[in-house]
Chains A and B, each alone.
Chain A
Amino acid sequence: MKAKYLFIGVMAGAMLCSCSKSELFQNPSTQLSDETAISTSETVKAVLMGAYAYTGDYRYLTLANTALDVMGDDFHISSGAYGFPTYNWNMYSYDYAQVPAATPWWTGYCSYLWRFGYKAVDQCNEIIANAASLPSGCEDYLAQAHAVRAYNMLRLCDLFAGAYNADPDGPGIVIRLEPGSADATKDPARTTIKEAYAQIIEDFTFAYNDLVNTDTQFFTKKSAALLLSRVYLEMNDYGNCSKYAKIAADNTFDGSNLMSQSEWQGGFTDHNSEWLLYFNYTAETCNYYASIPSFWWFTRCADKDSEWGTENYGKKQTYDYVTSDANATYGHMLQGYSTVRANNSFVALFDKKDCRSLFPFYFFETDGYFVSKFGWRTCVGDAEYPMGRIAEAYLNEAEAELGLGSTAAAASVLNALQVKRGATATTATIDHIWLERRKELYGEAFALPDIKRLRKPLERTGVDHWSKVLSLPADSPRFMFPIPLTELNYNPNMTSADQNEYWR
């Protein structure tokens, strides 16, 4: 019997001291709380890195930048009919066949673009909204946060709003300045374009004033200046555009601070001194097939006898020939999706000697040219990506000088760029500058924003444009993506009237 009571005693004792109420508070092992996330300069930097990471997310940067190029006149996505299937990537952007719903995914790109753009903005807001309480050593991160936020809001304007020049009072974007909140009543309404641009300028100006960082994978004073010049150009504010373009280019417009021709032809895989801002993709973070190079690159040239500058360059080839072992190795072939094509009509605009004419061959006349501007280092997609180059400062400066009435100054800057690239110098008209922008900046997401900014119609010519949308009038309501339903449905301060006109 004793054993019985001993047993019961031990069990009762164990029961009484078995648990403590503090165990009901558990914390995750791989996440920080709202408080600790901005408690040290190290974690503030990590929040900022998250903002950069979202800015370069493939569901955003790849989709957005490729769309902004293939929605213009000069490029298209292969129709999938010539042995290069599109797997639906971006062909619906090219074809202006987007819808506001999130599904099916290939026509619902707008919800990804919007979501990841605002994720980047939210990360920045966490830093900016807590500016007063940031630990010491975060001044530069705060300035960068302003720049990253402005960069993303400008990109969202390019995608979802009309041109400032067309109607500054037209619907812009949602301006978010506070961290995400469950309180839907705080959701901002859609602002005007003017208000959006005022905020973008305020942020870039803050960044410009405070930035000390000089590492060009992050925002620097100069890249903030280049972006300011870009924004002011979109607003036809030529004075400020020129002012900041000059700062970005160190007031040097003689071509000496531009890439050499061989650097230009090197495949845009690594940054150089002309790149004021680049996205630092690595082999681990580049997203491989979903990266920008995956859609653009195929191979440098068809074979060793068809290098750039030879007679054979730009000729018709066959798939089997180009992909045969020897030629593939020689041309640094790596097939990603490889579905972006330059139009015949665009290729024809280049001088033979223009180093930017990187269109090595085509398989079918009706499919357009392969493009070898964006290459790779160790695997598909492993390449740094330019987000702001001095060449753009030249072009901004030329256009601003023209706008300010200094035709000669405009021509001088434009010609310096043209000569450097091996193109024929031209007079500085708005169309010549625009053409030069297309030649210099293709693949860097300027095509559609420039059409909107310059209030040009969409004019797609040539047999290789397969879209049903071959022309659109200037200021077309189709030049913007639909506002995604994930915003319209859940933002109580937006109604269906806030949808972009074409999808209303």
Chain B
Amino acid sequence: MKRKFMLFLACLLLNAGFALAQVSVSGVVISKTDNQPVAGASIVVKGTTNGTTSDANGNFTLKGLSSVDGMAVVSFIGMRSVEQPIQSKMTIYLSEATDQLSEVVVVAYGTAKKSEFTGSAAVVDNKRVEAPVASFDKKLAGQAAGLQVYSNSGQPGSATTFRIRGSGSLTASNEPLYVIDGVAASSGDYSQIASDWNDSSSNIMSSINPADIESITILKDAAAASLYGSRAANGVVVITTKQGKKGKPKTSFNATFGWASLANGYDTMGSAEYYKTYFNSIYSQQLASGVSSDAAVVAANNLVQGLITHNPYNVSNPLDASGNVANGAKLVVDTDWQDVVFNVAPTQDYDFNVSGGSDYANYFMSVGYFNQKGITPSASYKRYSGKANVSSKAADWLEVGLNSTYSYSIQNTEVAGGAGASPLFNALYFLSGVPVYEVDDAGNYVLDASGNKQYNYLNPTNKDFNPLAIPAMDVHRTFTYRLLASAYADVKILDNLHFKTVFSPDYVGVFEKMFWNKYHGNGPAYNGRAERFQTHSLTYTSTNTLTYNNTFCDVHHLNLMLGQEYWNQNINLMSATATNLLGDMEELSAGSASQMPTSSETTEVLMSYFGRAEYTLLDRYNFSASLRRDGSSIFGADYKWGTFWSLGASWQMEKESFIKDAGWIDALKFRISYGTSGNNQGINSYASLGLWASGSDYIYGTSGGLGHSQLVNTNLHWESQGMFNVGFDYSLFNNKLSGALEFFDKSSSDLLYAVPIAASNGLESITMNTAKVSNKGVEFSINANIIESGSFKWDANFNITTSSDKILSLEGGDKIISATEKIWREGYSQYEFYMPTWAGVDKSTGSPLWYVVASDGTRTTTSKYSSASYELQGKATPDAYGGLTNTFWYKNFDLSILLTYSLGGKIYDGLYAELMHGGNNSGTNLHSDELNAWSSTNTDSNIPVFSYGNTDKQNSPSSRFLYSATNLRVKNITLSYTLPANLGVASNVISRARVFASIDNLCTWFPGGWKGYSDQDMYGIGGYAAYPSIPIAMTVSFGVNLNF
């Protein structure tokens, strides 16, 4: 590292030395953030008044120089000033002054000067990670303190788990509110095929082209977020899309190509290993039952082949009495199913936009095309998007505008989870002795009449499936149409008094096709099945605000806002199914039998009144207060309305003389806030009512039925949250170091959750407001401008968040969440693992052992799983997490390396457990570790004995499969090169060109001995997944940005 640094320094000096004597120099000023030219930047020769400004293309010419010695000082509002040696041809990069407190941040119902803001908000850079992804949220991991982002699946277009300052809810949603251009937008999953049918997901945020996003602000504390009332408790993500700026039209074209592949698979047994493992066990069992050795060999070979459903060898009795391959026997089938299922998947991403503006109007228009294939046989996502944001100053008292996004996307969902049709499941658990294609005894392909290979569907794992064939024969496709628009008018009533009205329709239309072929897999039982789903969601929001802004006597600055909002969401669902399909047709019309079609309509209404006051004294003491009253249709008859409020204060200490004198402190702001908010997200619209559902589940014979589906609760209401936040924002040493340090204490009460009730009630739970959860933590971020010298710069951003989450109270005491092997217990995390403790292997018998804890605390061991004691095993949530970004610029190159890390916490490898069944689950492949299982000659093994027909439950959930979740991931490395400003003839057309190469998810280091996919995201916040989803792939990509 040191040597490289010296090299950079040497180059730097060399450059200065070769400077030629000229009277004028020219150059270009470029923003590092988006690599766009900066118009209007000031370029001044240091120590003189000689200077100029850059034109619309960022170009400038400095004239009247006596020599090329000296330094140029380049500055632009909102960007960090740069000093650079004067050269004949200069390229100057300006970075955004994110560390300075002068910037304006987008906040609830408006903007705020960061220096005066009393709340906690983080502006996140969504451009740092260049690998193409369908939705912006997947890029944000590790980039802001207090933010956790998990891509739950490598399914293109799938959902992301997003947590702002931990999980404040037990069973309602923990996902934030998304506000796009000032309006709460539809988020979450609208697909029935992806989530309801195939254990995967789709993400409506994927309908927004990430390239259209100008900025993302995360509102974290009450002072920042609680103006959103009953929807603010999980934090708010405020997205602002690009707007045109005054000036001549700018055109830009971006293209990215990527290739994704599986980084790491499980080390499963090969065909010969699996055969021999079973053979040995069965052979010895046969001998023990008194059969002769010869008969035992035949029986064992016969049984193993029956278990595999194929003979992977070319002779009928390939193994002999000693377990060796007999003379003439040869392995002819050895399938690596992970290799069969996972492949290299390409992505293309194109974006073209034009923007500009005049005194009276601004515009930004874009079109985009994104096409991503998944690394499994049929997963893919394709999006066509268009955007037009226009605004006009229609009169001196009236500004009107329209922001609109249209997109059309097609997602092909790979079946995930434990379904027979899931290639993810089958990739891991299919036996290597099962061939992909039909083969004869010698292992040669059995061709059909046309000479083609024929898929083999016989296997002991999933009846009539083949993970390569079925995805190509069945269809799981989601078409999403989205129109998100917001029209606004801002009326200046008086100079200080504005009225703004916004009307925003958000339409999501989803049409889905499911088709099960009649030949193999799920379909034959129906002789082919076609299913169609439609979802029409229309959400509209009408917001009216009145804003008053004034300064009195130069020292009192007052900002008042009053508002009213109406939100209405109407969702219509429809589905229809036809079976017994004619020929190879896939449509409903081809069916001659049908299942009952369904439809339903859901309406949810939220009406609100709110206000905010901000007061600044002497430009340094800032106070804020907000109040919101929400009425929601989803809550019980007795609790329709709730009130939420916040108070905040901040102190710009750098303006006090005792700090000013220190000199090295550029800015130091102390902030403190407290407020309340609610969470109504993720709750069924009719959760408070006692209900009887109609539907196919309750039909008897040909008579329609009703099923008791929900118990009444008229007291159901929002989850309440109180958040305390205190912190400092700082900027030191001429802005070389900046960042924030803060502490938060989030207390969430009245948590809605499905209180489990005794199963003999006929229902398993009732949703009530009972529990209380606390999330506390410290967030620290530092942005360091380590070196900034001429053509070399090095910036580093580091953030860390410590977190501690705890259940404070729980109605009725402990709740066991067996679906994720957790327990909810007061005083512990809601992600606390709860399962028997592994005690190793009985040396004398090879039996698995678990601990039994007597009531007096005495610990003994048992080999009977159902007698083992359940114990707390630690939480899944990390103690600390964050990210580190190092960015280097050298001349036209820049290199950015993003690391994310997580410290502490546990993760359960259920997939590995499944592969370590020790004979408990015939028909499921084995991990290679099973080769080292206990035997009479290997009594020190920590893997219990393998035996055919085993029912010792050795791989049932226990601490044996819990690992430390601590990890360090090389999330992204991007190297880019900006072509010289002078590209000859091309410069007439192209004003700027940049190329880059990027690697996403290069590798992950798990010090805890993790054996699985190098991906913890798919296990989510809870560190547990019973079944696989598509692992997050390693992606290599290349791209180009062109400006015209």
Q: Which residues of A contact B (CB under 8 A)?
A: 3-4, 7-8, 11, 15, 18-19, 21, 23-34, 36-37, 43, 45-50, 52-54, 56, 79-83, 85-88, 92, 95, 97, 99-104, 107, 111, 114-115, 118-123, 125-126, 174, 176, 179-182, 184, 187-188, 217, 280, 282-285, 288-289, 337, 364, 366, 379-381, 466, 468, 482, 484-487, 489-492, 494, 503
Distance in Å from the Cβ of A178 to the closest Cβ of chain B? 9
Whether the Cβ atoms of B309 and A83 lie closer than 8 Å is yes
Work out how many contacts link A and B, with CB atoms closer than 8 A.
284
Instruction: State whether A29 and B601 are in contact (beta carbons under 8 Å apart), knowing that A100-B866, A182-B757 are contacts in the complex.
Output: yes
B697 within 8 A of partner (CB): yes
- Which of A24, A54, A184 contacts B631 (CB under 8 A)? A24
B542 touches A23 (CB 8 A): no
Contact of A54 with B707 at beta-carbon distance under 8 Å, contacts A180-B761, A180-B762 already known: yes
Q: How far is the CA of A114 from the CA of B463 in the complex (A)?
A: 28
User: What does the 1/0 interface line of B686-721 toward A look like (CB < 8 Å)?
Assistant: 100111111111111111111111111100000000
**Cβ contacts under 8 Å, A21 to chain B:** 607, 631
Q: Which of A8, A50, A337, A482 contacts B705 (CB 8 A)?
A: A50
* Chain B interface bracket (under 10, 10 to 19, 20 to 34, 35 or more): 35 or more
Query: Which residues of B have CB within 8 Å of A29?
Result: 600-602
Chain A residues contacting B489 (CB-CB under 8 Å) are 7, 11
The verdict on A380 contacting B525 (CB below 8 Å), with A21-B631, A24-B632 known, is: yes
Is B450 interfacial (CB-CB < 8 Å)?
Answer: no
Task: Please report the C-alpha to C-alpha distance between residue A276 and residue B5 in the assembled complex, in whole angstroms.
Answer: 91
Residues of the B chain whose Cβ atoms lie less than 8 Å from the Cβ of A187: 757-758, 760-761
Q: Are B760 and A487 within 8 A (Cβ)?
A: yes
Query: What chain B residues lie within 8 Å of A52 (beta carbons)?
Result: 700-701, 705
- Return the chain A residue nearest B704 by Cβ: A46
Known contacts A182-B713, A284-B596, A485-B816; A118/B762 CB under 8 A: yes
Contact among B462, B698, B759, B957 with A103 in the assembled complex (CB-CB below 8 Å): B957
Query: Is there contact, CB below 8 Å, between A53 and B397?
Result: no
User: In the complex, what's the smallest C-beta–C-beta distance from A284 to chain B, in angstroms?
Assistant: 5
The answer to whether A119 and B818 touch across the interface, beta carbons within 8 angstroms, is no
Tell me how far the C-beta of B487 lies from the nearest C-beta in chain A, rounded to whole angstroms.
13
Complex alpha-carbon distance, A414 and B689, angstroms = 56
In the bound complex, residues from chain B placing their C-beta under 8 Å from that of A92 are 951
Q: A15-B564, A34-B692, A56-B700 are in contact. Are A122 and B762 (CB under 8 A)?
A: yes
Which of B699, B701, B755, B762 has a CB less than 8 Å from the CB of A182?
B755
| Interface status of B889 (Cβ within 8 A of chain A) | no
A180/B757 in contact, CB under 8 A: yes
**Is B605 positioned at the interface, with any CB of A under 8 Å from its CB?**
yes
User: Are A28 and B686 in contact, CB atoms less than 8 angstroms apart?
Assistant: yes
Chain B residues near A381: list those with CB within 8 A.
525
Q: Please give, as numbers and ranges, the residues of chain A lying within 8 Å of B704 by CB-CB distance.
A: 46, 49
Check: B398 CB closer than 8 A to any chain A CB: yes
| Chain A residue with Cβ nearest B309 | A83
Q: Is the CB–CB distance between A19 and B395 below 8 Å?
A: no
* Cα-based distance from A466 to B501 in the complex (angstroms): 76
Q: In the complex, A494→B951 CA distance in Å? A: 29
A-facing residues in B592-607 (Cβ within 8 Å): 593, 595-596, 598-605, 607
User: In the complex, which residues of chain A have a beta carbon less than 8 angstroms from the beta carbon of B709?
Assistant: 31
A126 to B696, CA, bound (A): 20
Chain B residue numbers with a CB within 8 Å of A48 are 705
Known: A28-B600, A122-B761, A174-B758. 9 other contacts (CB 8 A): A23-B605, A26-B634, A31-B693, A85-B922, A118-B761, A184-B757, A284-B596, A379-B525, A484-B759
- CB atoms of A280 and B700 under 8 A apart: yes
A466 CA to B286 CA in the complex, in Å? 12
Confirm or deny: B306 has a beta carbon within 8 angstroms of a beta carbon on chain A: yes
Residue B10 lies at the interface, judged by CB distance under 8 Å to chain A: no
B892 contacts partner chain A, Cβ-Cβ < 8 Å: no
**B56 in the interface, Cβ–Cβ < 8 Å?**
no
Contact residue among B542, B694, B818, B1026 (Cβ-Cβ distance under 8 Å from A18): B542
Neighbouring A residues of B691 by C-beta, 8 Å: 28, 31-34
Alpha-carbon distance A503/B868, docked complex (angstroms): 11
B695 and A30 contacting across the interface, CB-CB below 8 Å: yes
Residue of A nearest to B593 (CB): A283
Q: Once the chains bind, are A23 and B607 in contact (CB under 8 Å)? A: yes
Bound-state CA distance A491–B564 (Å) is 47
Name B717-769 residues within 8 Å CB distance of A: 755-764, 766, 768
Task: Say yes or no: B693 contacts A49, CB within 8 Å.
Answer: no
Whether A285 contacts B685 in the complex (CB less than 8 A), given A19-B566, A184-B757, comes out as no
Residues of B close to A11: CB separation below 8 A: 489, 491, 499, 501, 544
- Which of A19, A184, A284 contacts B696 (CB under 8 A)? A284
* B818 & A32 in contact (Cβ 8 Å cutoff): no
Residue numbers in A under 8 Å from B309 (CB-CB): 83, 85
Question: What's the minimum C-beta distance from A487 to chain B, rounded to whole angstroms?
Answer: 5
Taking CB atoms, residues of chain B closer than 8 Å to A49 are 698-701, 703-706
- Assess the A53–B951 pair: CB atoms within 8 A: no
**In this complex, what residue of A is CB-closest to B492?**
A4
Q: How far is the CA of A18 from the CA of B956 in the complex (A)?
A: 58
A-B contact pairs, 24 of them (CB 8 A): A18-B566, A26-B633, A26-B634, A29-B600, A31-B693, A45-B703, A49-B704, A54-B707, A81-B307, A82-B303, A83-B306, A83-B460, A85-B459, A87-B461, A87-B462, A97-B951, A99-B866, A100-B866, A114-B759, A121-B760, A123-B708, A125-B762, A180-B711, A337-B463
B685 touches A26 (CB 8 A): yes
A302 to chain B, nearest CB (A): 19
Asked if B398 and A7 sit within 8 Å, CB to CB, the answer is: yes
B812 interfacial contact with A, CB 8 Å: yes
Contact of B395 among A3, A53, A115 (CB under 8 A): A3
B763 touches A122 (CB 8 A): yes
The 10 lowest CB-CB distance pairs between A and B, nearest first, are A122-B762, A49-B705, A180-B761, A280-B701, A491-B758, A85-B460, A34-B690, A52-B700, A37-B692, A50-B705
| B629, CB-defined interface residue at 8 Å | no
Picked from A15, A101, A103, A118, the residue with its CB within 8 Å of the CB of B760 is A118
Which residues of B157-187 are within 8 A (CB) of A? none
